[in-house]
Structure formats: C-alpha cells, structure tokens
Chains A and B, each alone.
Chain A
C-alpha cells in the first residue's frame, strides 16, 4: 500500500509540474486503486528484475530515478510529422496529417478528439509504427518507428486496443489470445503463463480464461483485448475509439479499468468521440483537418464552447450545464468538470434555499401525462414469450409474457441491457419472428393467423438493424435503394420517384449519391442508405435496432433530428437502444426490458427519473438525471422530471432565482 500511495503522489506531482495547474484528480481517487492493480504493480516489479536485458524496464517509475529520467525524455516524440495515404485515387490529395509536433510524457493521460476525418486514427497508428511518416519522425522511447528492426520493441512499448472488439481476438480461447502478444515477442513459456494470468486477473477475466471469445459480451471482449496488450508489458496504451461498441455497463467497467491502469502508471492515449471520456484525461488534443488545433487541458478546452463548435465537437454535460447557467451565477469558479465539483462550488456560492415548500414541489416543468390521443392501438402484443434456440443445449428464454400496446404517431423507446430481449421484441413486431406463445397484432392483422401475409407486415413495419454493412450488397447507392421495389416488379420510372423521396427523407441528395459506390461511403452515410432502403417501402412504422450505436456525435444528432421529423410526418417509431441520452431527447414512452420481462412501461420522464430501477437493470441514467439527482441531494429544489441538460438548466435557474428572491 505504501508503494502505491508514494507512487500516486509522485505521479500527481509530475502532472502538476508539467501542466502547471491544480490537479484535476480528487484525493479520493488515489484510494480507488484496488487490490488488482496493486497486484499488477507488484508483479511488474518482480518481473522487471528478471526479464531479458533486451527488453527495457516496463511500466512505471516506481523509483525516483526513473521519474526524473522520464520527465526529461518524453515517451513519444513526434517531430514535424506529415502523412499522406499512398493510393489516393479518391480526390483527397490533401495530407491526412500535416506538420504534427507532439510530445507525450510517460504516465500521462491524453485524449485525442476531433471530427471524422480529422486524422485522429491516422495519428494513433503512427504511434506504434502501423503507419510510417511520409515526412518527419516518430520516436517511441527513443526508437525511430521507421527503423524496421525496432518495430517489435516499439509495438510492445506502445500497445493498441481497437474499436471492433471481436476483430482483434485471434485465438479460439481467451487464455491463448492473451498469450499471442508475448509469443510474438519470443518470451519464455513460464513467463508468458505468468503474464497471461496477471493480465487476465487485472482485467477480471481470469474466470473466463477457457471460454471462446464469441461467447463473451463486447465489454468482456474488449477487456480481453486489454489483457492481450498488458501481457506485452507496454508503457503506453492507445485506445482507438475502444468504447464506442460497448453498452453502458461495459463502457463503465472499461473506463474504470483504464482509470486503474493509469493510476498504476501506464500512459494512456485515448482517441474518442465522447467528450465525457475526454474530460477524464489530463490533456486533450483537438485534431482538425490533419493538424493539431488545440493542445490543452479538458478544463481549458471546455471554457470556450464556441471554439468547440468550430471543430464540430460538443460540450460534455457538466460544462454544458454550467455554460447555460453562467449568466446567473457569474461567480462560479471556472473549469469544473465533474458533477461533484460543481455541486460543491455551487452550494458554496449559492447555497440552496431552505424553503420547505420548494423542496416538496420543486420548480420547472410540470410532468404532463404523455398519452397521445388515439383510438385503437397500432400494434398490440399479448402475452408474448419466446425461447431462443429452442431445443438446443444453449436455449434461452428471451421474452416472457410481454404485454404492450403501441399507438399511432408515438415514439416508443425500448431500453434494457444487452441480452434483455430488446432486439427479439423488435423482430416480433416486424414478423421476423412469429410468436411461439402469445400474439402480435399489427394494424388488426394477427401474426398467428395462418393467412396473414408476413411479407406485407415486414414492409409495413420497416426494421433497420444496427450495422448497415449487414444488408448493403450492391455496388451503387441507387441500385441498393431500388432493390426492394424492383424485386416487387414496380416499373423503373416509379421506382426512381420513390427512391428520390426516400433518399431525400433519409438525408441523401438523390443526384449526387445515386451513382456513388457503397465502398466509398462513410459509416454515417451507409446508415442513411440503409434507412432509405427501409423508407422506400413506405412503412407505417419504422423500427430501429440500436438506433445510434457506433455513430459519431454529428451523425447521431442528424439521425435524432430526422427521427423527430419523420414522426411529425405521421410515422410511428419504435427504437431500441441502451443509450438513454437518445431516449431523453426523443421518446414519448419508454419500455424497460430486463431478462425478457417488461419491467416498466411509462412516460419518458417517469422512467428516466427512476434512477434506482435503471441502475438495478444495469442502465446508466442520462447525465441530466444524474446531475439533477446530485444537486437535489445537495439541497436544491429541482424538478424530478428533467431529463435533458437544457431542461435541467432551466429548472436550476428557477431554483437559484427563487433562492435569491427569498434572501
């Protein structure tokens, strides 16, 4: 324990001296280092003494001497780096990276942010020689990445974890996958076994060591990927959008683990779209069109929201909230990043009023009973049960006795953790699954009835899955979108009109997109093509499975905006998601599923403010709800039903205004 705390202090001290500002880490976090990461440090020390002389001492400066050395010599030094992809048959002649100068110190925590195509990932791939500079130089622990003979050592010093969890695991069982890296380094067998065990214990996956990767959740797979890098004893871990495919729980555990690893001395470089994740770092680098636009602390970055918008980035929730209330509380200290800090600062400058009346009723919105005026429900689900892979050894009850009605013109969100049956439920509504027990009635047509035309129901309820790649198969966007109607033998002239409408609704310009190849589209554009394929069937209901998963913030906002637009055109929307931030913006009604059972069915505000239930089923309430809850606990009389940051700001302003008034 002594070792650890000494290290922690030293560690903070280095940060202080380097960035010349008060440490953003609260003292409490140092106690957070749990037994696991302690074990990791200890083991590392044991091993460092024994490793072959060819490999450098790894990980952390536990001795004072090391700290001094590494303060002078940054771990990664990038000099005047420019890079251009060799075969630019696309018109992009511009450099992917241009004139990058960057030093990354040992033990630091750096976030790299920026819009799509700003060069974040290209930069990351230079850090361990996956890409080599066209001009300039990248030095990792003093080694030039262009020196082929040093590549292996560079890659064991700077390890990487990628976005797609499944596509980085190589072996048929977890244990052997973790051994892959050390095997490549030519490490002795007994040593590999010890490292594999240490690494798997660090990421809490030792229990699962004999399981095949495809039976793990995405979060677990990503932790195995981390173990695979840890077994190489890296000094730096680069995370290339590593959390974007994870559900909230998986993301939470993953970020916790990263926090611990950083505490134990690993240098962390994270490429991310999430400003919340960026605010965990000590230093943020903003990339813009291949150049470093800003290199600062999260605190400083979020002080100027206008600059952020220029890089198509958004404020994280707490700075956003502060920005919105700043005009009323100008004396609030600048640069607060966590809700705790904010609540503390706010209560010292603007203590909550003690009025009993306000505490009971709160300010702001009156929750409206959000029931749309409608006669018969559009979709009725009665006692629906489903057993996945029935009759096989791995059968699983994926839905049990679900009762549900969906009205015309509603946006209904189905939320629940991974494996709660969200997707299965959606596929019942669309007729992809026929009820094993119970019934599904779509516009008066029962799926149980033998004469029901299931194909017609599939057209009536458009279902779009998470990955657009799963359905796109033509060369050209236009052919892809026209495929469905052409198959139904609709004449080409009519199809052209339908395609035009569908593409405009999905946000694709007909003239400029119809002849583009799908191979040349970005992820967000592919998603739009998939949506257009569903829209061209002119569905009454549009069901989106994991609507926003894997999209960058801009594409996500665009999609949310379109969903609202389609609703206003009279379309009924059913959305399954585990991202409650989307739900807070969109939904009228929210249905919570857990282990195949319908746990709660209520208005958006009712469900999202039920923090206890959400956490119980493994979901993370939207930030506005979390911050609101904290502020209420501090004593502010806030409305219980605020679910977005603007609403919360409004309610907080009223509470503060009322408080001032009473004084």
Chain B
C-alpha cells in the first residue's frame, strides 16, 4: 500500500491481505493497532506532562507530543502519520490549555496533519543511505513541520505577528528537534536494534 518499513526483529507474522476491490480504503490490522496505541501514548504524554521537558528558555517547556506522530510515520507510513497527527490535534483541542489559540481547530488540527507526511518523506528519501541518518532527518523535518505550520497558522489567523512567530520558532525549535531525535533514536534502537554503535560501552 505504501512504504514497507524496516523489518522488525519481533517475530513477524505475515499475512496476505485482500486487495481492496471496493472503493473503501483498507489499512492493515497492524497499522490500525499501532496507530491506536501510539495515539493513546500521545494523549498520555499530554495528560501526565511526561511529554513536556523543561528547557532553559522562558517560553515554557519543550514538547515531545509530536514524537509518536513521527514514529508512526517512520514505522507505518504517511497515512498512519496523518491519522496520528489528526488525533494529536484533536487532543490539543480538547485538552485544557493555557491559551485560547489551541482551542481553535484551524490552529490545533490542520498544521498537525502535515507532520507525519513530512517526516515520512524525509525518512523514505534518505533511508537507502543510512537508516540511522534517516531517523535523524525524520526527527528534524517532522519537528520543523510542527513548528513552522503551527506558527504559520497562528500568523494566518492573526494571533501573532510574523516577527513574534519567528522569535518563537527560533527559540522553541532547536530543543524540540534535539529531544525528538534523542527519543526516536532511543525507541527505535531498543525496538529494532537500529543505531550507529555496534557494541556497548563496556
């Protein structure tokens, strides 16, 4: 259907799936299950505030709420990424927030739909060179998509002016990208054994 991600080291179960003959689209069961569970993680990261990491800037905590979206896109492709982005957006709409900005569906949902596609694109394009670098790029691009499109929408909806948006983005983006990359490498390293080093430090 779309990209076939790197084979997992978990015991794979493979199955032939019926080709969709009707005009209803089909997702494999695994894509559905992974999306569901990652969506649950997104919500939990927000609720328990595990997903917010204090950074040395006065603009508040850096978030890793978009990391499940990027992870879903890397593992299962752009459709899963988009759906997870939508759920991330719906959650920030419903979640108690400090500003009324994110209570606006055009700001909380629309930009998030693009995180998955962008991250997947970066990953798919560079994967053939190095799995490890592709993951880093997916983190870089996915986070960039989140920051740029969300701030862009804030500007479009006339909540902030361009200068504030740029300042905001420049401050928040680097730490969020770093965190996203560290978490992505950690998770994919533990899950599939992907990584640069080939032995432990011992």
Residues of A whose CB lies within 8 Å of any CB of B are 85-87, 89-90, 125, 129-132, 146, 148-149, 472-479, 481-482, 486, 492, 495-496, 499, 514-515, 517-520
Contacts and interface: CB of A to CB of B under 8 A. Distances in A.
Contact of A476 (B7, B9, B200): B200
B18 interface: yes
A85 B198 contact: no
Contact of A477 (B12, B197, B200): B200
A518 B186 CA distance: 12
A475 B188 CA distance: 9
B64 to A, nearest CB: 15
B17 to A, nearest CB: 8
Interface string B1-21: 000000101111111111000
Given A476-B200, A492-B201, A517 B193 contact: yes
B59 interface: no
Contact of B18 (A148, A473, A479): A148
A473 B16 contact: no
Contact of B201 (A89, A125, A482): A482
A479 B202 contact: yes
A89 to B, nearest CB: 7
Contacts of B17: 148
Interface of B: 7, 9-18, 186, 189-193, 195, 197-202
Nearest to A499: B202
Given A474-B190, A519-B192, A520-B9, A148 B200 contact: no
B190 A519 contact: yes
21 contacts: A85-B11, A89-B9, A129-B15, A130-B13, A132-B14, A132-B16, A474-B190, A474-B200, A475-B190, A476-B197, A476-B200, A477-B200, A478-B200, A478-B202, A482-B202, A486-B201, A517-B193, A519-B10, A519-B190, A519-B193, A520-B193
A473 B190 contact: yes
B199 A87 contact: no
B195 A87 contact: no
A125 B9 contact: no
Contacts of B193: 475, 517-520
Contacts of A492: 201-202
Would you call the interface of chain B mostly helix, strand, loop, or mixed? loop
B16 A479 contact: no
A129 B11 CA distance: 16
Contact of B9 (A90, A482, A496): A90
Contacts of A87: 7, 12
Nearest to B37: A167
A519 B9 contact: yes
A515 B202 CA distance: 8
Contact of B202 (A130, A473, A475, A514): A514
A482 B12 contact: no
Given A89-B7, A473-B186, A475-B189, A515 B198 contact: yes
A482 B200 contact: yes
Given A473-B190, A515-B198, A520-B9, 12 more contacts: A89-B7, A125-B13, A129-B15, A131-B13, A148-B16, A472-B190, A474-B190, A499-B202, A515-B199, A517-B9, A518-B190, A519-B193
Contacts of A148: 16-18
A520 B191 CA distance: 9
A85 B200 contact: no
A468 B181 CA distance: 25
A91 B49 CA distance: 42
Contacts of A499: 202
Interface centre among B14, B198, B202, by most chain A C-beta atoms within 10 angstroms, is B202
Nearest to B32: A170
A543 to B, nearest CB: 26
B41 to A, nearest CB: 15
A478 B199 CA distance: 8
Contacts of B191: 519
A153 to B, nearest CB: 13
Contacts of A478: 199-202
Nearest to B188: A475
A87 to B, nearest CB: 4
B129 to A, nearest CB: 19
